[in-house]
Amino acid sequence: MSRTRKLRTAKPRFITMALTLLTCWAGAAYATGHDIVAAHASAHDIAAISLADDVSTQAVPPFKHPGLLVTQTRLNSIRAAVQSTSNSAIKTGYNRLLQDNRGSHTYAHSALATVQVVRAAGGPQETRWKNDSMAAYLNALRWTVSGDTRNRDKAIQILDAWSSTFTGFTLASGTDAPQAWLEAAWGLPVWASAAEIIRHHNGGEAGWTPAQQDRFNGYLNKLYAQANQASSRTNNWGVSGALAMMAAGVYQDDASRYNAGLARMKQMIPLIVYSSGEVQELQARDCHHPQYSLAGIAQAAEIATIQGDTSVWTLTIGNEPQPRFARGLEYMAKSILYGEGVRDCRSNGLYSGYSDIAVNGYRNRGVAIPNFQNATKRGRPDASAAEFLGYSTATHGRDDY
């Protein structure tokens, strides 16, 4: 039987605050540069932040499980597509996933007591931590498709090893404390997604014991204590922090954490995607940092939809005819396809892990995003993503466009 008891969680540290206080929350040293809300945000955008506090959109337990990006129905559909003799986007995406050796039951994991984070670069301990998280997820997913219990066992071994060993993050020389916030915000949804499958697939078929779940829950709380602080930032960090809060909330059946993350995510949308559709950080930085924000929003939108709330997909500002997030996707796609807008991204392409999720989400809602669909189809199948769950073609690919 699936165990849906509410796991013990630490007291949430995130409190929804007025926009004017947000940068102060992260400390004066981090209230400069691209972390300040850009002047592109209009009065309508700022006013829209209040939409996030609408209690009518707050989740009420019990949460649906599995409920992080993939439901039981979706897992069953992936398995059917892979086992079918017919070709499909999902099957193509899954075949690419199979090429990732982290998904093998022979993958050599190695848990660490501490993980040293390095600012603006990935150190060897961060790389090991991220690789092991993806290995847990990929093995869990492969088990649901193939039924090979060796993949199940490998996923459990990785989850158990890290939850029994990890004590916290350390900082490399020259690295400030907030870097640990970001690393935790990136990692938490991946770890939680792996555990969500192991804990809930087919009603708890994996046999992950309450004691094992409790140890993992303690591990997740350690990550949450760092990750939720990233949500105070007003760039891609804030999106990742909000996604981590939502993921923890679903896995831990904690409505307070989930609702705080969902509220923050909805606050972030008009700050990340301007009324023109331009995505924050595209002009000032590069072609991939703005897509960190788009990936986080898309994954959060899918999680919220599974839990019965489509407001991340559908959030509009004022009289805009198109959801603000959809507008951002179209702007990014035109930059990738045609070099239009504030930066030419034709040589970069789409970041992995969100394109097929976004196309699926908006096609289900009848919202046209033709340029983003074209970019998605051109870039299929997507692969692994360094900071987020990848392989969205394998889980959400469609064949009807």
Beta strands in 128-286 (DSSP E): 168-171
Give the H/E segment covering residue 82.
Answer: helix 72-83
Runs of H (alpha helix) within 252-323: 255-272, 289-306, 311-314
Q: Are 171 and 116 in contact (CB under 8 A)?
A: yes
Q: What is the pTM of this model?
A: 0.91
How many H-runs (helices) and E-runs (strands) does the chain carry? 16, 2
Euclidean distance between CA atoms 158 and 112, whole angstroms? 11
Q: Are 96 and 394 in contact (CB under 8 A)?
A: yes
Euclidean distance between CA atoms 236 and 35, whole angstroms? 9
Q: Are 319 and 312 in contact (CB under 8 A)?
A: no
- CA 240 from centre of chain: 7
In DSSP terms, 121 is beta-bridged to 118
pLDDT (0 to 100) of residue 247: 99
pLDDT (0 to 100) of residue 36: 45
pLDDT (0 to 100) of residue 18: 34
Euclidean distance between CA atoms 207 and 275, whole angstroms? 49
pLDDT (0 to 100) of residue 41: 63
Q: Are 297 and 279 in contact (CB under 8 A)?
A: no
pLDDT by residue for the chain (401 residues), tens digit each? 444 555 666 544 433 333 333 333 333 333 334 444 545 666 556 655 555 445 445 666 799 999 999 999 999 999 999 999 999 999 999 999 999 999 999 999 999 999 999 998 789 999 999 999 999 999 999 999 999 999 999 999 999 999 999 999 999 999 999 999 999 999 999 999 999 999 999 999 999 999 999 999 999 999 999 999 999 999 999 999 999 999 999 999 999 999 999 999 999 999 999 999 999 999 999 999 999 999 999 999 999 999 999 999 999 999 999 999 999 999 999 999 999 999 999 999 999 999 999 999 999 999 999 999 999 999 999 999 999 999 999 999 999 99
Runs of H (alpha helix) within 317-396: 324-338, 355-363, 370-379, 392-396
pLDDT (0 to 100) of residue 254: 97
